[in-house]
Amino acid sequence: MAANAIDQTRRMLSLVTYLRERPGAHVADVARAFGITEDELISDLDVLPMCGTSFRGGDLLDIDTDGERIWWHNADASGESTAEPLRLAADEATALLVAARAVATLPGLRESDRDALLRATAKLEAAAGEAAGASSRLSVTFEAEGGVFADVDRAISERRRLWLRYYSPARDELTERTVDPIRLFAVGHTYMEGWCHLSEARRTFRLDRVAEIRLLDERSEPPAIEPRDLSVGLVQPAAEDPEVVVEVGPAGRWVAEYYPHDSAEELSDGGLRITLRSPDPASLRRLALRLGRDGRIVSPEGLADSARQAAREALAGYGETA
Amino acid sequence: MAIAKAERLMNLALCLLGTRRPLSKRELRGSIEAYMEAGNDESFNRMFERDKDDLRELGLVIETVENLDGETGYLARRDSNRLPPVSLDAEEAAALGLAAKVWQQARLAGAASGALQKLRAGGMPEADNPFEGQHSAIEPRIPVHEAAFEPLMLACRDRRPVVFDYRKSTAARPETRQVEPWALECWRGHWYLAGHDRDRGAERVFRLSRITGRVRSRAGKYTADVPDVVTVRETVAAWAGESAERSALIRLRAGAGYPLRAKATAVREGSDGWDELEIPYGHGLDAWLVEFGPDVVVVEPADLRADVVDRLRAVAAG
């Protein structure tokens, strides 16, 4: 059974309208058209024969399947109740319209795709009528660097290798690398996932950190790897990564919002003691410097020392001593 | 075995859509097996009310009509429930197919798929695979990690006042806020709420990740007018220091600080291993410059220079 009765009901209402027009439809085709698995479809088809306009009158939907094709023997008996699709609900109109508007504003998107999105949005707004009203109360902006986006997009479709000058904030340096692009995705910012020949590993690149990009004439041949799951956070520290403990005051609580962490313990002054893991603790020197009087690195000691040392050197640049 | 809820909802929907005259609760109870098995009147009534609400969430317009005997009847008229004809070509269908995959939030992901299925039942052509050939190879995803999102989305939709505990970025303790929510906006992967703050009597923007505890609904209407256009992003961009009105002059070690160079309005390369940059000076610039440690020296203005030195002293002493 579907986990969510609301979603299943919604789907079954559309399904009966769809099946009515298509006697003997193939299970595989219908599942694809509805964006569900064949098992989900079969579970719907198990429920539908229990449904009808009157249980006592016996006019239940006589829908059955042999696992390959679907037959509805009394489609006419269900009368007009299943003849047409139902109007869009407010949440349905909102979900599609907000997403379509957001994608349409992505800088670098191909114009043909942008046009199709805008045309579809206008038609959907007209069809949704009043239900479209609430969609203006939700909006999403994706950030992307249009030029870089278009180059990565082209490299993927033409299967070409890329050359990048890429900025690493952890080390404050630009590195040159060749990358076989795998995919382009947007989660707030826009990223490219690719096979990096410099690190000989899969890497994720944020487009606004690409300082320079060129399409090469070499063929892109990334190894077959499982694409990463975009529903979990982009930064996934490994269990073996060294532990870093940071103590922040109330004004440093933002650290817990920006850094994935193992624990954040409340302190009596309204601050937090945050334990996180990083494959490269030295990269957190930036954080220690940024925090100033709002927090400090408790451990490892070497990291705390390097932040103090950097601050002393910086002060010397102002003719000051600590 | 109890009858599955989806089966019960489906039967209620078919009865209400299939009738030309209003059906009384009694008639519906006599037609739908799950209601016959519902036990006493009270549990049936509760179930029936909840089911009607659920079907309304799915977009069904259910009318309540009183008949001559004073008995309430229900029906879902075809003409107020049908989707008007929508003619989408294959390209437009592909575009909506891409849009429907964007939400990483269960309620809206379900709603987006449901919308697509209604359009499909209405004859929308099947899209070709959007990742092949002539379409952009982009996979957009809208992240929703904040527990406050769904209750606030519904409150914005239904224009319901809410109360929640909110901790400002620099506050030690959360404070209770009474808000008339207007709109939600996602920027750089984070969700923000704009609304009228009743205690402050003014518009405020809240970051959802700073809401602690549950969002509770309040009865009653809005007391302040809802503006036609709500601009969340401008407020948040100002917090992020992106509405700079002044300019700063800094020295930057050659080869270092690429993001500062990318933001600079002017760069003069020096011969002593240091370059001079003019950069926009907005909120938070001092904290950002300190991140570059000994690779940055602020030349002017004096207040920025003093702020940076002050921060460095705190780290050096830490």
Given a cut of 50, whether residue A1 has pLDDT beyond it is no
The answer to whether the beta carbons of residues B241 and B283 sit under 8 Å apart is yes
The answer to whether the beta carbons of residues A51 and A11 sit under 8 Å apart is no
Q: Select the residue of A103, A131, A293 nearest B140 (Cβ to Cβ).
A: A103
The tens digit of pLDDT for each residue in A164-221 reads 999 998 889 999 999 999 999 998 889 999 999 999 999 999 999 999 999 999 999 9
Q: Do B157 and B233 fall into the same domain?
A: yes
Q: Do B227 and B256 fall into the same domain?
A: no
> What CA–CA distance (Å, rounded) separates A131 from A92?
8
Short-list A66, A58, A59, A72, CA closest to A42: A66
Q: Do B194 and B170 fall into the same domain?
A: yes
The CATH number of whichever domain residue B15 belongs to comes to 1.10.10
Only one residue has tokens 């890497």, namely: A203
Boundary (domain end) residue, out of B239, B270, B302: B239
Boundary (domain end) residue, out of B212, B239, B266: B239
Given a cut of 60, whether residue A13 has pLDDT beyond it is yes
What is the average pLDDT across A2-7? 75
Q: Select the residue of A7, A17, A183 nearest B114 (Cβ to Cβ).
A: A7
Q: Do B270 and B313 fall into the same domain?
A: yes
B residues 227..286 contacting A (CB < 8 A): 232-233, 251, 255-259, 262
Phi, psi of A290, deg, nearest 5: -65, -35
Buried b (16+ CB within 10 A) or exposed e, B184-205: bbbbebbbbbbbbbbeeeebeb
CB within 8 Å: B95 and A113: yes
Residue A291, helix vs strand vs coil: helix
Q: Do B268 and B235 fall into the same domain?
A: no
A125, burial (CB in 10 Å: exposed 0-12, middle 13-18, buried 19+): middle
Q: Select the residue of B31, B156, B296 nearest A55 (Cβ to Cβ).
A: B31
Supply A320's token pair: 């000051």
Q: Which domain holds residue B75?
A: 5-81
Least confident of A201-215, A225-239, A255-269: A225-239
Question: DSSP secondary-structure letter at A83?
Answer: T
Buried b (16+ CB within 10 A) or exposed e, B75-109: bbebeebbbeebebeebbbbbbbbbbbbbbbebbb
Supply B91's token pair: 């390209």
The answer to whether the beta carbons of residues B240 and B189 sit under 8 Å apart is no
The tens digit of pLDDT for each residue in B236-279 reads 877 776 777 799 999 999 999 999 999 999 999 988 999 999 99
Q: Give me the pLDDT at residue A211, please.
A: 94
> What CA–CA distance (Å, rounded) separates A247 from A269?
11
**β-bridge mates for residue B217, sequence order:** B162
Q: Select the residue of B113, B135, B140 nearest A142 (Cβ to Cβ).
A: B140
- Tally the domains of chain B: 4
Please give the full DSSP string across A33-79, using - where no structure is assigned: HHT--HHHHHHHHHHGGG-BS-TTTT-B--EEE-SSEEEETTGGGGG
Supply A193's token pair: 């996932």
Q: Give, for A176, the enclosing helix (H) or strand (E).
A: strand A173-187
Supply A294's token pair: 């709002």
Q: Within 13 Å, how many C-alpha atoms sit on residue B298's CB side? A: 28
Q: Give me the pLDDT at residue A2, please.
A: 39
Residue B121 neighbours by CB under 8 Å, 6+ apart: A14, A15, A17, A18, A85
- Count, residues in chain A: 322
Q: Do B157 and B216 fall into the same domain?
A: yes
Q: Give me the pLDDT at residue B127, please.
A: 63
The answer to whether the beta carbons of residues B46 and A41 sit under 8 Å apart is no
Q: Give me the pLDDT at residue A217, please.
A: 96
CB within 8 Å: B59 and A88: yes
Report chain B (318 residues): mean pLDDT per 10 consecutive residues: 83 90 90 86 92 93 87 90 92 92 91 95 76 74 92 96 91 91 92 95 92 94 90 79 83 94 93 94 91 95 95 91
> What CA–CA distance (Å, rounded) separates A292 from A313?
15
Q: How far is B69 from chain A (nearest CA, A)?
A: 23
The answer to whether the beta carbons of residues B235 and B194 sit under 8 Å apart is yes
Q: Give me the pLDDT at residue B148, please.
A: 96
Q: Do B183 and B120 fall into the same domain?
A: no
Measured between beta carbons, the chain B residues lying within 8 angstroms of A106 are 138, 140
Q: Give me the pLDDT at residue A193, please.
A: 94
Q: Do B126 and B93 fall into the same domain?
A: yes
Please give the full DSSP string across chain B, using - where no structure is assigned: -PPPHHHHHHHHHHHHHH-SSPEEHHHHHHH-HHHHTT-SHHHHHHHHHHHHHHHHHTT---EEEE-TTS-EEEE--HHHHBPPP----HHHHHHHHHHHT-B-SHHHHHHHHHHHHHHHHTTPPPPPPTTSSSS--EEE-B----TTHHHHHHHHHHT--EEEEE--TT-SS-EEEEEEEEEEEEETTEEEEEEEETTTTEEEEEEGGGEEEEEEE--S--SSPPPSS---HHHHHHHTT-S--EEEEEEEETT--HHHHHH-SEEEE-SSSEEEEEEEE-TTHHHHHHTTGGGEEEEE-HHHHHHHHHHHHHHHH-
Q: Do B187 and B220 fall into the same domain?
A: yes
Only one residue has tokens 């109870």, namely: B29
Given a cut of 80, whether residue A312 has pLDDT beyond it is yes
Q: Give me the pLDDT at residue B133, please.
A: 57
The answer to whether the beta carbons of residues B294 and B286 sit under 8 Å apart is no
- Look up the pTM and report it: 0.88
Q: Give me the pLDDT at residue A21, please.
A: 87
Short-list A125, A286, A102, A124, CA closest to B191: A102
Short-list B140, B149, B153, CA closest to B102: B140
Buried b (16+ CB within 10 A) or exposed e, A9-22: bbbbbbbbbbbbee
Given a cut of 80, whether residue A3 has pLDDT beyond it is no
The reply to whether B9 touches chain A by the CB within 8 Å rule is: yes
Calculate the average pLDDT of chain A.
89
Q: Tell me the residue type at A120.
A: A
The tens digit of pLDDT for each residue in A17-67 reads 999 889 899 999 999 999 999 999 999 999 998 888 765 566 788 888 888
Phi, psi of A234, deg, nearest 5: -75, -30
> What CA–CA distance (Å, rounded) separates B115 from B124?
11
What is the average pLDDT across A298-308? 91
| Most distant CA atoms of chain B, gap in Å | 97
The reply to whether B184 touches chain A by the CB within 8 Å rule is: yes
Boundary (domain end) residue, out of B175, B206, B239: B239
The CATH number of whichever domain residue B312 belongs to comes to 3.30.70
3-state helix, strand, coil in chain A (%, to 5): 45, 25, 30
